[in-house]
Amino acid sequence: MRTMSHTSQPVGGPRSLTLPQPLRTESGEVLPEVRVGYETWGRLAPDRSNAVLVLHALTGDSHVSGPAGPGHPTPGWWDELIGPGRTLDTDRYFVVAPNALGGCGGTTGPGSLAADGRAWGSRFPRLTIRDQVAAEAATADVLGIGRWAAVVGGSMGGMRAVEWAVTHPARVGALFLVATTAAASAEQIAWCSTQVRAIRDDPGWAGGDYHSRPAEQGPWRGLGLARRIAHVTYRSEAELAARFGRDRQPGEGPDGRYAVESYLDHHAAKLTARFDAGSYVSLTEAMNSHDVGRGRGGVAAALARISAPTVVAAVDSDRLYPPAQQQTLADGIPGAGPLRVVTSSYGHDGFLIELDQVAPLLTELLDRVGAAARRHPTTTATGR
C-alpha cells in the first residue's frame, strides 16, 4: 500500500491524487490512469483511526462544506455538518470526500484527457457503483487509511456507502445511510434512462464525442431537460403545489410560463453551467447498475455481510427513493435497529435540507461507535 504521511494531509481545500495502478472495470475495460479529486477537513490521527468517508449524490461533488470558490462553483452541500464542534467535528475527525469516478469534479470521467490527448468521450468505460467503490478503496490505500471510522452517504452516495460495507466489511467502522437503496428499482431505472435518453438524443451529443467542439455546441439542451425531469422527482407533489400552484411567473403576463416551469428552467441553467453531460450519463448509468445482491445470492445475503453498526434513515415524502427501500436496508443489515424517519415536505431532497433532523441521527451513530471503542480499547485502527 502506498501511503501519504498524516502530517501531509491538508486541513481543507480541493486536492487530487493519481492511483498507483490502472483500474479494471467490471466491464473488463481498463482505465490506465485514474485521477481522484477530493477534499478533506481536519487531520488524520497518528493511528489513522479517525477518518470518515462522506460520499456525494449524483450532481454533488467533493465540496461537502465551505463556500463556493476556485474548483467548487457551489457552496458545500452538507455545510452545516462539518467543522469544529459540528456533527463531524474536525477537531476529532479527519473527513474525506472524493469526487466519484466518472464525475467532473477532479476525478477521471468522460471529459478527462486520455493518453492520446483527446477527451475520453464515447471511449470512456461503462461504470458500475462497484467500480466507483474500487476507485475509492484504492484512494483510501494511497491516503494510508485501512479502515474508515464511518462511511456516510445519501442517494447515490448511499449506494456507494452500502456497497463499501458489503465489499469491504472490515474497512467500515460504522455506516450511515439516508434516502438510498440496496438496489435500483424498475421505476428508478426508468427515470434515469429517460434522462440519459434526453441527453443522447440531443444533436450536440455527437455520440459522446462533443468535448472538442465549441462549448455552445455541446448537448446542453439535453442535459437541461434531464435536470428538469430529475428535479421533479427530487421534490414532493405537495411542496410543488404549495409553493407554485398554478401561478404564472411574475412579470410574464397571463400567457407566460407557469412559475413551476420557471423554477425548473432555473435549475436546468444552474446545472448546465457547472456539470458535464458525459459525466451525467456515466454516473446515471452507474446508479442503474446498483444491486448489492448481484452475484452474491441476492440482497438479503449481501446485506447480511455487513458487520458495522448502522443507522438507516428515510425521508417520509421521498417519492424517488421511497421509505420502503430504506426499510429493506434496516431490516436486512444486522444490528441496524429501527428505521429512522426524517419528516419533510421536500421529498428526496429532504436529506440535503432537513439537517436539523439528519445531524442528530449521525451523531447517534458516532456516539454509539465511540462508546463501543471506549469499552474495547484494544480494537485495531486498521481492521486489517
Which of 211, 318, 344, 349 does the annotation list as catalytic? Answer: 318
**What integer pLDDT is reported at residue 384 of this predicted model?**
31
Known catalytic residue at 212 = no
Grid coordinates belonging to 303: 446485506
Stretch 364-372: mean pLDDT: 85
Q: To 10 degrees, the CA torsion angle through 340, 341, 342, 347?
A: 130
Stretch 226-239: mean pLDDT: 98
Q: Give the mean pLDDT of the chain.
A: 93
Give the C-alpha separation, 249 to 236, whole Å: 20
Main-chain phi, psi angles of 46, to 5 degrees: -55, -35
Sheet holding 310-315, edge to edge: 14-18, 35-41, 94-98, 51-55, 150-154, 175-178, 310-315, 340-342
The DSSP line for 44-90 is: --TTS--EEEEE--TT--S--SS--BTTBSS--TTGGGEETTSSEET
pLDDT digits (tens, 9 = 90+) for 155-176: 999 999 999 999 999 999 999 9
**What integer pLDDT is reported at residue 72 of this predicted model?**
82
Main-chain phi, psi angles of 82, to 5 degrees: -120, 130
Q: Are 269 and 231 in contact (CB under 8 A)?
A: no
Known catalytic residue at 16 = no
Which of 6, 56, 211, 348 does the annotation list as catalytic? Answer: 348
Stretch 65-91: mean pLDDT: 93
Residue of 300, 344, 337 whose CA lies nearest to 319: 344
Residue 22 DSSP label:
-
pLDDT confidence bin for 8, thresholds 50/70/90: very low
Please report the beta strands in the chain, taking only residues with DSSP state E, as ranges in sequence order. Answer: 14-18, 23-24, 30-31, 35-41, 51-55, 82-83, 88-89, 94-98, 150-154, 175-178, 310-315, 340-342
Q: Are 349 and 319 in contact (CB under 8 A)?
A: no
HSE, CB side, 13 Å, CA atoms: give it for residue 123: 15
Domains of the chain (ranges plus CATH)?
A: 6-182+291-375 (3.40.50.1820), 188-285 (1.10.1740.110)
pLDDT digits (tens, 9 = 90+) for 34-76: 999 999 999 999 999 999 999 999 999 999 999 988 778 889 9
93-102, 139-148, 286-295, 364-373: which has the minimum mean pLDDT?
Answer: 364-373
pLDDT confidence bin for 293, thresholds 50/70/90: very high
Query: How much is the pTM?
Result: 0.94
Above pLDDT 90, what percent of the chain?
89
Residue with cell 436496508: 329
Known catalytic residue at 318 = yes
**What integer pLDDT is reported at residue 19 of this predicted model?**
98
Which of 49, 62, 112, 155 does the annotation list as catalytic? Answer: 155
- Asked if pLDDT for residue 179 goes beyond 60, the answer is yes
Residue of 325, 323, 330, 322 whose CA lies nearest to 303: 330
